[in-house]
Every structure is written in C-alpha cells, then in structure tokens.
C-alpha cells in the first residue's frame, strides 16, 4: 500500500495542536511535528505507517514489524518515576494485525533468546504525562537483548533524563539496525518479522548540539554507553535514513559532557 499517515484524531483537530503543522499541495507535502527537530527522518520505505501520538512519532515497517525510527522530545515536565507503573503491553490500535506483532508473539522470547521487550521511546521519559501507557504499544517495542536493555541502553536513557535538569529540552531519535547478520526470530511469533542486530540513538538540542550512539545486540551488560559514541553520518549510513532532512550542516556542537561522557 502507499504511505499511510495514521493520526489519532481528525486533521482539523490536529491543526489546532501545537505539535502539528501540515503544509500540502497536489504534488508535495511537508509534515512537521514538535517531536522532531529539523524535520522527521526520511528514507524509510514508502510502505511504512507514520504514527503520531502526543509523546512520540514513529515510522512502522510493515515487513519487519518494528519501527524504523521513533522520535520524541524530553523535558522536565514529561519525566516521572516509572517504578510503580505497569508494563501493560498492547498491540498498536492504529495498525492492522498484519502490520505489527501481538503480545503472544513474544511468548518464550526471554527464555529462548534472552530478549526483553525494549522500549524505543522510554516509559520513564513520559511517566510524568497522562500518555505514558502509549509507550507500551508494541509498535514502540523491539526484541532487545537483556544485557543491552538493562545495561548501557538503560543508562543512556537515564543520562538523557538527567541532562534535562540543566537543558531546557532534548530531542531524541532512535531505531534499529539490520546489518546482514541473522538474529533468532521470536519463537512464539506466527508471522514474518526480522529481529534487529543493533540499535542507534541520536540526542540533540534545538540548536544542533548532537551526540550519537550505536549499540550491537551483543553489548555486554557492564558496557559504558559513552564508549559507543559514533558520528551522525555513521548512524545515517547504517540506518539508511536522513535524520535531519531540513538541514545539511549539523551538528553544530557536541552533547557528550551533558550526557556525562
């Protein structure tokens, strides 16, 4: 099917929201969301579904069954404690059953392959909002090795939250990598999918200070996330995406010190 923009409200309602701006014509269309700085990533397959929510926007891949990228904006107002919040997993109500996985597809995945249900837009970053449950939709989840999910990935997410103590806001884009190696599939899944071989995360300010990271699935639990810093150009080359399509001269500086690196 062609590109499908799945919005959880009518266009008229969305135009009234501060995070949404649609400028269109018969031949071209520009879409801007407050979740993305300098435009949302381009380069994903045209069959992807663009899903927009109050706390994130993502591009869901019909074939792989996981998001090719997820973009979100973190501020002090969105952050909260997630310790008492339930991980109530749910298939994405905006996607057809043939386009996403269901909870039963993850059955036995941890025991067989040490896969956690790894958030792309993290729960703790939005525990201070009424929309935190949306982080538990399976379109925002991927099979992530437990050592990575509970180690360096978790520590980097924490560093992003801590950085908002002194930075007004941070923009994050994150997504999976598929580098040719074949990862074991989810043993309980009854539909075709492709488990990522790694992950990337790019953190930026509105002014263009950026730090990028790449993690392989086999990243040890005690790994230092700072050792996984990479260039934005490497992330773009390996993901096949243009992360900041509205500009050509980013980054303007580095965020490493702000992220405790």
Enumerate the active-site residues: 119
Q: Residue 83 to residues 79, 124, 162, 222: CA-CA distances in angstroms?
A: 12, 8, 17, 22
Q: Are 213 and 257 in contact (CB under 8 A)?
A: no
CA–CA separation, 154 vs 234, rounded Å?
22
| The two structure tokens encoding residue 11 | 């266009």
- Phi then psi for 211, rounded to 5 degrees? -135, 135
- Cα dihedral angle (209, 222, 161, 261), rounded to 10 degrees? -30
- Max Cα–Cα distance, the chain, nearest Å: 52
Taking the C-alpha atoms of residue 244 and residue 43, their distance in angstroms, rounded to an integer, is 11
């Amino acid at each position: 099917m062609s590109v499908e923009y799945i919005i959880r409200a009518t266009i008229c309602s969305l135009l009234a929201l501060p995070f949404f701006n649609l400028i269109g014509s018969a031949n071209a269309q520009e879409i801007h969301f407050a979740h993305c700085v300098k435009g949302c990533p381009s380069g994903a397959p045209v069959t992807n579904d663009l899903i927009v929510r109050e706390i994130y926007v993502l591009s869901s891949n019909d074939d792989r069954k996981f998001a090719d990228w997820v973009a979100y904006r973190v501020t002090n107002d969105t952050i909260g404690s997630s310790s008492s919040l339930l991980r109530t997993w749910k298939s994405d109500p905006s996607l057809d059953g043939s386009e996403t996985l269901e909870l039963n597809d993850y059955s036995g995945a941890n025991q067989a392959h040490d896969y956690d249900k790894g958030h792309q837009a993290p729960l703790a970053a939005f525990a201070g909002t009424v929309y935190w449950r949306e982080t538990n939709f399976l379109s925002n989840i991927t099979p992530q090795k437990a050592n990575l999910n509970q180690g360096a990935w978790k520590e980097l997410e924490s560093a992003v939250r801590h950085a908002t103590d002194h930075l007004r806001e941070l923009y994050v884009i994150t997504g999976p990598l598929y580098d040719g190696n074949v990862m074991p599939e989810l043993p309980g899944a009854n539909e075709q999918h492709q488990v990522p071989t790694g992950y990337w995360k790019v953190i930026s300010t509105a002014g263009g200070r950026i730090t990028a990271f790449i993690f392989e699935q086999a990243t040890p639990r005690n790994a230092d996330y700072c050792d996984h810093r990479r260039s934005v150009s490497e992330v773009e080359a390996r993901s096949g995406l243009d992360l900041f399509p509205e500009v050509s001269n980013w980054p303007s500086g580095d965020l490493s010190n702000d992220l405790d690196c």
